[in-house]
Every structure is written in C-alpha cells, then in structure tokens.
C-alpha cells in the first residue's frame, strides 16, 4: 500500500507506518497542481489543514482508498464526493481537543485582564497600573456554541474555574458540565461566547448582525473553531460599536487574512490558527493517524 503524507506529520508516525511494510512518501510542501499528477499513484493520502482534497482531485485518483485528516475539521475535503467514490475519510477528533480547549480558556483570561494591552504598554516602558482593572471569569456565564469533544473539554475547565456553562448544540440534549439551551437564550445570557463546531452549510455565518443584536452589551467572543462561522463584517461592527467588548480569534474566513481590519482593532487579539499546535497534541495526532492507516491496511 502506498501512502502520501502531504503535510508536516510527526516523524514517529511515518516511521511506524514504514516499519509495518507500507511505502510512505512525504511531500510537505506539495502544491495543488503537483497533487493532481502525484496523488493518482497512491492508495492513501494523509493531510492536515494546509492541503485541500476537492472533487477535481478526487476524480483523477482511481487508486485512492483512504484520506486521513490529521486534526478535527473535514472542511478541506469534499467528504461526500469522496465517499461516493468508495473512498474512506477519517480524522483524529480526540487528539487535539485538550490543546484547543486550553487555548480558548487562555484567551478568556487574556480578554478578562487585558493582558495583551498591558504587555504592550510595559514593552513601551510605561507603568499604566490604573488602566487595567479587569474582571474575574469565575462567576461569569460561558456560552458554548457546539459541545463536541473540544466543547466538552472547554466546559470541564470552565466549570473548574467557577463559570456557569450554557451550551447550544442541535445534536446534543444534555452533557455533564453544563445546560443545553436554545441559541437565543445562550446569546442573551452569556458573558463569554466560545465557538466549538465545524464549518458546514448550516453553520456558515451563523453568528451575524441578528445574533450580535441579541447578545449582552459588553460580551466577549472567542473563536477557536473555524473561520466563516462568525460573519467578520458583522463582528467588526459589533466591536467598533461597543456591543462586543473584545474578541479573540484563532481562525479566519481567509487564512491568512487578506483584510486585516479586525486584527488592527485594539479590542481584538489573534493567532494564526494554532489551536492544535502543541507538542502533546501533535504527538497524539501522529499516533492516531498511524493507527488509522495501519488498521486500514490490515483489512
């Protein structure tokens, strides 16, 4: 069985597959154009968020039997079309859950205490002690939109910090560390809103001007899920009007952004889609990828 690893993956994962007798080639910088001529020779494709496998590529790969996405989201793969061609599509939903949840919680602390602004003033040799009176996150209401593996991991940490967790998820009726409520109730009550759901046709732009209007004045928003779930123009208006006090964004509609206006606001902090970028998560992702491929090879 021939495996093409298209994005940077742990060396141990690659060596483990080779040790099992698989032919594993790596091309971490392969371009979309190169994939069209290279991938047809392979049985398995291993990808991360960089590489996209869309219908035109799938249609020229007669040997392809398995696509493994090292990570959670499958929005970079035309899953339904792949499966219609008999290609199995798998991901690693548990491997990075804790890392993304920790980033979301870390962002809440940063927003509550204006840590980015405080650090910036110190680097400018300013001692603005009276300018940074913040808030405790204990006692606040956290609204989770989506309670899959990452949402549940975030909820566990939030309740340990003394937050009350309300959650909206059309596929979940109850969970251990919070209460499932309608989306409108969550929007009206939450002091912090954190997104933890995939981007789909249903979730694209699901947080827009209408939803911002229903939120508390001064709400804080965290998005470590997928860009495009929040309408960025509506978010910009909410941030500049004061409706939203601050936002922390790890993901964007376009990555990297072509319009940086959100990041230039003083009440926005961001990172370049690093939710799963911890040593521990990368090790777990690599291990799970290898297990999926090796299990498939034994069939």
Structural domain spans, the chain: 2-95+279-297, 97-270
Does the active-site annotation cover 273? Answer: yes
Mean pLDDT over the full length of the chain:
96
Q: Which residue has the tokens 């009276």?
A: 130
Asked if residue 72 has pLDDT above 90, the reply is: no
The percentage of residues in the chain with a pLDDT greater than 70, rounded to a whole number, is 100
pTM: 0.89
pLDDT of residue 256: 93
CA dist., res. 254 & res. 110, Å (int) = 24
Confidence tier at 285 by pLDDT (50, 70, 90) = very high
- DSSP codes, 149-179: HHHHHHHHHHHHTT-EEEEE-TT-S-BTTBE
Q: What are the start-end ranges of the E strands in 169-286?
A: 179-180, 192-195, 219-223, 244-249, 268-270
Does the active-site annotation cover 226? Answer: yes
CA dist., res. 127 & res. 122, Å (int) = 6
C-alpha of 291 from chain center? 23
Q: Dihedral (C-alpha) 274, 147, 241, 118: value to the nearest 10 degrees? A: -40
Common-topology check for domains 2-95+279-297 and 97-270:
yes
Question: Mean pLDDT over residues 193-209, rounded?
Answer: 95
Q: Which of 12, 255, 280, 295 is catalytic?
A: 255
Q: Which of 226, 232, 284, 288 is catalytic?
A: 226
Q: Which residue has the tokens 């548990």?
A: 94
Confidence tier at 74 by pLDDT (50, 70, 90) = confident
Does the active-site annotation cover 81? Answer: no
Asked if residue 299 has pLDDT above 90, the reply is: no
Question: Mean pLDDT over residues 187-199, rounded?
Answer: 96
Question: Mean pLDDT over residues 278-286, rounded?
Answer: 93
Q: What is the pLDDT of residues 224-265, one digit of tens each?
A: 999 999 999 999 999 999 999 999 999 999 999 999 999 999
For the chain, counts of helices (H) and of strands (E): 11, 12
Q: Is domain 97-270 annotated with CATH 2.40.160.210?
A: no
CA dist., res. 47 & res. 139, Å (int) = 41
pLDDT of residue 237: 98
Asked if residue 49 has pLDDT above 90, the reply is: no
Confidence tier at 34 by pLDDT (50, 70, 90) = very high
What's the CATH architecture for 2-95+279-297? Answer: 3-Layer(aba) Sandwich (3.40)
Asked if residue 94 has pLDDT above 90, the reply is: no
């Amino acid at each position: 069985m021939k495996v093409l690893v298209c994005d940077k993956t742990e060396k141990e994962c690659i060596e483990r597959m080779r040790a099992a007798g698989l032919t594993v080639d790596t091309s971490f910088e392969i371009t979309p154009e190169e994939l069209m001529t290279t991938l047809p020779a392979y049985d398995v494709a291993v990808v991360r968020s960089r590489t996209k496998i869309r219908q035109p590529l799938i249609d020229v790969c007669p040997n392809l039997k398995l696509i493994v996405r090292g990570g959670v989201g499958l929005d970079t793969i035309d899953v339904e079309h792949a499966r219609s061609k008999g290609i199995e599509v798998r991901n690693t939903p548990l491997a990075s859950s804790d890392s993304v949840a920790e980033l979301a919680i870390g962002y809440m602390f940063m927003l509550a205490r204006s840590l980015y602004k405080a650090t910036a003033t110190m680097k400018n040799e300013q001692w603005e002690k009276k300018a940074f009176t913040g808030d405790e996150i204990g006692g606040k209401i956290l609204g989770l939109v989506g309670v899959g593996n990452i949402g549940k991991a975030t909820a566990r940490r939030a309740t340990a910090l003394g937050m009350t967790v309300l959650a909206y998820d059309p596929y979940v009726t109850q969970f251990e560390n919070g209460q499932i409520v309608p989306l409108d109730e969550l929007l009206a009550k939450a002091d912090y809103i954190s997104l933890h759901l995939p981007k789909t046709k249903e979730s694209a732009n699901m947080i827009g001007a209408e939803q911002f209007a229903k939120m508390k004045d001064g709400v804080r928003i965290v998005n470590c899920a997928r860009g495009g779930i929040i309408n960025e123009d509506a978010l910009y208006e909410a941030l500049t009007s004061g409706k939203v006090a601050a936002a922390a964004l790890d993901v964007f509609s376009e990555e990297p952004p072509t319009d940086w206006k959100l990041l230039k606001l003083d009440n926005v902090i961001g990172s370049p889609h690093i939710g799963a970028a911890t040593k521990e998560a990368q090790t777990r992702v690599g291990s799970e990828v290898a297990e999926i491929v090796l299990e498939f090879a034994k069939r």
